[in-house]
Amino acid sequence: MRIYGPNGTNLGTPAAFIRRTGPSSFALPDAASAAESRPAVALKASANIDALLAMQGIEEDPVERRRRSVQRGKRALDVLGDLKMGLLSGNFDTGTISRLREAAANLKSSSGDPGLDNVLSEIELRVEVELAKAGQF
């Protein structure tokens, strides 16, 4: 995907050389005006970070949070199914263990629905049991 415009990815292109033939208008500032200097550009970046942190604090829609929790539960069950099929067929894949660890980490957040949270905690317990078993291999 290419992005064109003022925020594009043209940072690596060299700037055109401008040749000026008149007298230079450059002058050093007075010592009094040096004390009244403008804040650094980093403050602008920190304002952007503050905006991102503020957006994270906004509550998301409960329906959306529940939908994401259901998806995380389904992914964890899929990985458990892959582990079962791998063990039954004798083709144990170590990549499945890393996917199990990832699924266990994703199941920790709350969905806001007590029934769904109970089911997700049971799935999480099963994933952690399988991870403990895999540690013996």
- Both tokens of 2, joined, read 């290419």
**Domain assignment of residue 29, yes or no:** no
Taking only the tens place, the pLDDT of each residue in 8-17 is: 555 555 555 5
Number of domains in the chain: 1
Q: Is residue 14 part of a domain?
A: no
pLDDT digits (tens, 9 = 90+) for 25-54: 766 666 655 555 555 555 455 557 767 666
Average pLDDT of the residues in 108-123: 85
Question: Six-digit token pair at 109?
Answer: 């957040």
The predicted model scores a pTM of 0.53
Place of tokens 């055109």: 16
Domain of 129 in residue numbering reads as: 67-134
pLDDT of residue 21: 62
* Cα dihedral across residues 82, 85, 88, 93: positive or negative: negative
Rounded Cα gap, residues 122 and 116, in angstroms: 10
Q: How far apart are CA 96 and CA 104, in angstroms?
A: 12
